[in-house]
Amino acid sequence: MNKAMRTLYAAGAIVSMLSTARAVDVSGVPGAFAPVAIGGRGTALAGAQTAAPDGVEAIIYNPAAMADTRDWSGGYYYSNMYALVPYHFTSGTYRLPGRPYVLGVAWLQNGDEVYSENEVLLGGAYERGWVHLGATYKLRFAGTGGGGSEFIDPEAGVGHQVQGTALGLLGFDIGATARPFGPKYAVGVTLKDLFSRISWDTHNEAGTALGQYAEYVPVTLRYGFLFDPDPFLDMVVDYEPSLYHDGLTKLATGVEVIPLELLPDSRVKPYLHDLLAARVGYARNMFTKEASHRLSLGAGLGYRYLGMRLNVDMAYEWVYNFDHHNNVRLGFNLSR
């Protein structure tokens, strides 16, 4: 393990220790801008993407993996979260010609006319041998609209519906991936939402809103491991320890199978071998029984032409103990 990786792991340990002291000030349960699994591949693998996120999803899971971009990539994914909230994710990366640097940008938007959240991500990655380093800056803003039903106090005759806006000018993710034992093994680590502060300004007719206040998005530390024993098979595991007294320790794992890799060698196999991917993932919150299990299935179709590759991915996620409101992801990415 080189100096850069040792430094990032040490930083994770420091955050773990400091979080105990801050536990009385910051909740480990996210409120606004809660992290969710994004993209067709990431969702299908239950979010276990810290070691080897693919393409346009890297900026969300581990910005260091953007360094795998050959020339450029771009894509869009849509989700209907819990059959309640629409999510839109648009992302792109670009490698500076002849340089070991990759730049990335993404926009994540969710919500409706009642309440919506937006995150704009600006990231960069650096490649040095078998080590990749990356960082992302997050700009966040949210607001309430005029939709929804207004609750009127029958005695006072005033409305209680809260109107307001939120702005977060601070927020950073940092990450690293490494393949110290060759291409079949990858490890990754990310620290997310460092210094993420959200300023709120809320009001309502009844005067019961909180007014102007600030809150912090909980910091998360996540480790990942990829084992790629054969072009036919990838196995991934992520572990996220709790950093707060009321936080949750999380485990996620997934398997990706490329079935056409099993075809016998022929003249057409190079054009077909990675056409289809099948994925399954499982995640749970450890040491608790409340709403802790998630099972995901997904598939991807990919085609190469003129040096470019188009992937179309979809995933379906079963969220146990959530009244059968499950998540669907559908989208595409194009890369070269």
Q: What is the pTM of this model?
A: 0.84
Does pLDDT of 127 surpass 50? yes
The whole-number pLDDT of residue 7 equals 43
Categorize the per-residue pLDDT at 20 as very low, low, confident or very high, splitting at 50, 70 and 90.
very low
> For a pLDDT cut of 70, what percent of the chain falls above it?
81
> Whole-angstrom Cα distance, residue 160 to residue 87?
27
The whole-number pLDDT of residue 25 equals 46
Categorize the per-residue pLDDT at 36 as very low, low, confident or very high, splitting at 50, 70 and 90.
confident
pLDDT (mean) for 162-180: 91
The whole-number pLDDT of residue 278 equals 97
The answer to whether residues 303 and 276 touch, using CB atoms and an 8 Å cutoff, is no
Cα–Cα nearest to 8, from 183, 103, 135, 185: 135
> Whole-angstrom Cα distance, residue 315 to residue 17?
36
Fold exhibited by the domain 3-335: Porin (2.40.160)
Q: 162 or 104, which is more confident?
A: 104
> Whole-angstrom Cα distance, residue 58 to residue 312?
16
The answer to whether residues 75 and 56 touch, using CB atoms and an 8 Å cutoff, is yes
Share the mean pLDDT of the chain: 84
Q: 123 or 147, which is more confident?
A: 123
The whole-number pLDDT of residue 9 equals 44
Categorize the per-residue pLDDT at 101 as very low, low, confident or very high, splitting at 50, 70 and 90.
very high
pLDDT (mean) for 23-48: 74
The whole-number pLDDT of residue 318 equals 85
Does pLDDT of 66 surpass 90? yes
Does pLDDT of 61 surpass 60? yes
Strand partners, 306: none
> Whole-angstrom Cα distance, residue 24 to residue 245?
8
pLDDT (mean) for 20-40: 61
